[in-house]
Structure 1
Amino acid sequence: MNVLVSTDWELAGSFDMPSGNEVIAKVDIPNPTGKFPLELKAGNSIVLAGANGAGKTRLGVFLEAACPADKVRRIAAHRSLVLSDKISAISLDRAMKGLQFGYIDGEAGHRTGHRWQNKPAVALLNDFEFLLQALFAETSRVAIQHLESRRTSPNEPPPETVLWRLKTIWERLLPHRKLRLQELGILVVPDAASTSDSTSEYPGSEMSDGERVIFYMLGQCLLIAPGSIIIVDEPELHIHKAILGRLWDAIEAERNDCSFVYITHDLDFLVSRPTATKLLVTAYSAEPRWQIESLPNDTGLPERVLSELVGSRQPILFVEGRRGSLDTTIYQSVFPHYTVEPIGPCEAVLHAVTSFRTNPSLHRVSAQGIVDADGRSEDQIAYLKGRGVFILPVAEVENLLLLPSVFKELALALHFSDLEAGDLLAKLTIAVMEEATKDLEKASVRFAVRKLDAELKKLAPAAKTIAELSQKFQASVQSLDPAALANDYKARLSTAIQSKELEKVLLLYDNKGLLSIAAQVLGYKSREELADLLSRLLARNDAPIKAAINAVLPTIA
C-alpha cells in the first residue's frame, strides 16, 4: 500500500511501506521481576487487557514516551468528539503538527504540554479540528498537484486522497449513509437505496457518536506517518459491537505498515482480534511498574474465559450452566471468596479445572469445580474429587432448595411457623414422589443415554488411527448394555421413591421442573417468582437460607 503523506508532511509522491514484521520499536516495561520486553512490529497488533484500575492507561502513556516522538500516536479514551462545521484552512504541515503535538508550530517537546496539558494520563484529548484541517489540507494539496500535472498529462487519472479513502471505508461500514464532501465541510446524506427520503441530510456536526468516532478513528490512522505506532485506549468506545471488529480489521488492512497497541477492558474486543498478541495487565505501582503477562494460547479454553480469569485475585470456581441463571446466583452467594465462572457441561468444568492446574502459565491460579451428581458411582466421585471437581448432593443444582434442611429454612424465611414448615415439607415430599413415579421410565432412559454418550465421547481422544477407533468402538459397544444401565437406575430410584427418601430421590432424579412444584407448595405461581425471592434473600449477608445451602454443599479445599 502507498500513502500520499510523508514523514515531514511534505507531499513527495508515494512512499513504500515497511515490510511486514519489521521492528519499529523495542520497549522494556518495568515489572516486579525486572523487565517485560515488548517488540512493536509493522503489521502486528497487541491488545493490553485488564480490569479498571490495573494501570493500562498509564502503560499507554509509558509506551508513548518510550517510542520515537515522530513514530507514535496515542489516542486517549478521554477524547472529545465535537466535530465543527466551521473549519479554518491551514497548511498541511501545520495541521499535522497540531494533530501530533497539540500545537500548529509545535515539535516533539511540545506534546506533553500542549496535546496533554501536562496530564497525559487524564487530559481530555481535543484534536478533532486538527484532524479535519489535516484531511482537507491534504485533499487541497493533492488536488492542486493533480491540476498542475493535468496541464502536461491531460489523461492522468485522479489520485486518491486520504479523505476519499476515509469516505469509502466509512460508507462501507455504514451502508445506509453517504458522506458528501464540500470545500471545508461534510454533509451526511441517506443512501438512496435504503430510504425514500432524499432530503434528510445533515451536517457532520450532527453525526451520531458512533458515526463521529468511526470518522475520527479512520482519520487518525489513515493520516499517520508510515511505519508508526498507533496506541488506542478503549477502541470500542461508542462503536456498536456489530461494526467494531470490522472497523479495526479495515484500519489494520489499510495501515499494515504500522503497529497497533489497543488498551481495553472489553473482552468482546479482545476476542475480535484473533491474530493479536494478548497481554494482561493486572496491577500497577508508582515506581512505575506493571504486573503484566502474556495470555496463554494453548489451553483449549475460550479466550474470553482466559482473559477474564487469569488475572483473578480470587480462586476460581468453575460450575455448570450459564451466566445469569439461578444456579450461578446460588454459587456466587455461598462462595463469595471465589470467582464463579459458568462454563457449560460437566466435561467443560473438568477440562477448565485441569487446564488451570496443569498449564505452566496458569497453575498459579487456584481453580476448583462443582458439577451435578448425575447418578455417578462412588469411584467416579472419588476420581473427580481427585481432579479438583466436587459433586453436588442433587442431580440438578436448583433442587438444592428442595433438600429438607434448605426447604424448611426457605419456608421459615416466608414467615411460616416451624409446624407449618414441617407440613409443607411433607406435602413437597409427596408431590416429588408422585412426579418421580410418573417419570420413572423416561428418567431411566435419560440416565442410560447420558452414560452411553459419556462412554462414546472417550473414544476419540484415545484412538490414533481409524482401525484403532473402530476396534475401541466395537469393544465399547460390547461392554455396554443400555437396558442394564436403565434397569439398574430404575431399581435405585424406585427404592428411594418407595421409602420416601427425598434426599435420595433428589440425588438420582434429573428434573429441573421440581422447583416449580416447590414454588406451588410454598404458595407461588411459578418457579420464576420463587427464584426472584431467593435472589433477594441471598443478597443479605446474614440470611439463614444462605447458611442452610452452604451446609449441604461439598466442602471445597
Structure 2
Amino acid sequence: MEQVESTGTLNVIEINTGADTKKIEIKPGCPVFILGRNGTGKSALVGMLSTKLGKNLVFMPGSRPGHFEHEGLSLTHAARRDLAVNFPHWDANPDTRWKVISGTARNEKAIHDLQNAELQYKVDAANEIKAEGAQSSAIARLQSNNAPLDRINALLSQSNLQVRVLISEGELKAQRGDAVYSFARMSDGERAALIFAAEVVAAPDGAIFLIDEPELHLHPAIVVPLLKALIAERPECGFVICTHELGLPSTSVESKIILVRGCEWSGNEVESWQVDVLDAPEEIPEWLRVDLIGSRQKILFIEGTINSLDHPLYSLLFPKVSVRSRESCREVMRAVEGLRAVEKMHRAQAFGLIDHDGMDEKQVLDFESHGIYPLPIFAVESLYYSADVLAGLAAQQARTFGLPVEQLQHEAKMAALQAVTAKGIPEHLASRISERHIRDQLLLALPDRKMMVEGAQKHIEFKLESPYPGELERIKQMVSAEDIDAIVCRYPVRESGMLNGIAKALHFNGRTDYERAALILVGINDELQQSLRLKLGKLSEMLV
C-alpha cells in the first residue's frame, strides 16, 4: 500500500510497483521531480500523494483554474478556516484529477494568506517600534526589503516578469510601470506565477509543496527560474513537482527524479506503477527527452558546476535562455560543437561561455566563430561584486541605516584590500589563475584521434611558459592602485575572504544576504542589467 511516513523533518514516499516498493525521501531543499509521458499515471500518482503527505501539505493541482471570480478578495477569515478543513477531503476525491471541485478557492486562499502575512509582518514591526522607540531593530527590518511582498516581487523579478505587487487602498494590487490595477487583471502567466509565489512565501515552516504541472500558463523562460527561486526561497521545506519541463530537474544538484513508465488500474484506482528513481538529470532517457522537448530554445553552456549564483543571475540577464553548466572549458566546447554539428536534428541553439585566460585577439575571434565566447572575468562573483552592483547596494544600505554612501563604499574598499593583502593571499590568487591558465592550455592542446593517427608520434610533448610570475606582479599592481573591480574580475576572490569582507562592510550579515540583495537589485534595475550584460561582451548581443 502506498504511504508516506514521517521521520523528523523527512517524509518518505512509498510507491507500490507490484514486485517491490520504491522509497523516495523528501528532504528540505532537495526537490523530487515526477516525469513521464502522457498517460503513464503521473496525475494518478500526484493524486495519491495529495492524500498521503500529511497536514503540512500545500497542494497545487494540475486541474487548478488560473483566474479569479472577482477583482478583489471575497474570502473571509471564517471561509479561509473552512477551506483548510475542506481541501483534504476534496483532494481525496478521485475526480479531482480531471474536475475542479474547489473552483477558484485555492487562488483566493493564496492571495488571502499573502495579504495577511504582509499585514502581520508590518503590525509586528509597528508594535515593536511602539514599545522600543526609535532604537528598535524593527526599523531596519522594515527597510530590509524582506517583507512578504518584497520577497514576492523578488521572485517575480528573478522569473523574468516585469510586474510587481503592492498594497494600495487596503487591497493587493499589481503594478506595471505607472499603471496600478487589480491582481485579477494580470496576464495568465503573471497570475500563475503570483499564486505559486504567494503559496510558497506564506506557507508555514516545514511545509511540503506538491505542484502538478507548474508549466501551465507559464513559458519555459519563466517556469524554470521561478521554480528554482521558489525552492531557494524556502530551503527548510520539501518540494515534489510533476512536470513535462525537462529544464526543471537540472536546476538543483540535490534533486531526485521519479520516472513514471506506466501503471496498472483496478477500477478507478491505480494498483501499481512502473517507476524508476533517477539520481541525476543526465539519467533521463533519450526517448523521454524526444517526447517532451518542445520548440527551439537558446542554450548557454558555462564553465563550472551548478550553484545558487549562476542560474538566477544569468536568468535575469538572459530571460529567453536555458543555462547549463559543464566542468571545464573543454566540456563547454564539446557541448556547443556537438549541438551545432547536428542543428538540423534538434531545436536548440547552443552558445558557450569560457574564461578569457589571456587569449590573443585571433584566438578570441576563432572561438567566437564557433559560438563560444571567452570572457574577461573569472567567475559569476565578478558580476555580483562588480563596481556597479557594489555602488547600488552601498546606496541602498546607506538609505536603510542612515549613513553616508561614501563612508560605506570606502569601508567596503578597505575591507576588500585588507582581505586580499593578507599573508599568502596574493600568491594563492596568482597561482590559482596560473593553474587554471595552464590547465586550459593543456586541454586545448590535447591531440584528438585524427591528429594522433596522422602524427604517429611515440611521444607527445607540451612546453608552456609559467604565467605565475607575471600574475603575481599583476595582482600587486592592482592592490597598489586599489583597483578592487579589476581584482574581482580577474581572480577567484571567493577564496580570499574578500567577498565576505565587502558584505560585512556594507552591513549585510554575510555573502548570502549580500548576493540575495544583489539579485533583487539587478531584477528591478534595467540599467544595472544592461551594465552587467555589457561585461559579457559580444555574447549579450546573441542572447538578448
TM-score, L = length of structure 2: 0.48
Structure of greater Rg: 1
TM-score, L = length of structure 1: 0.47
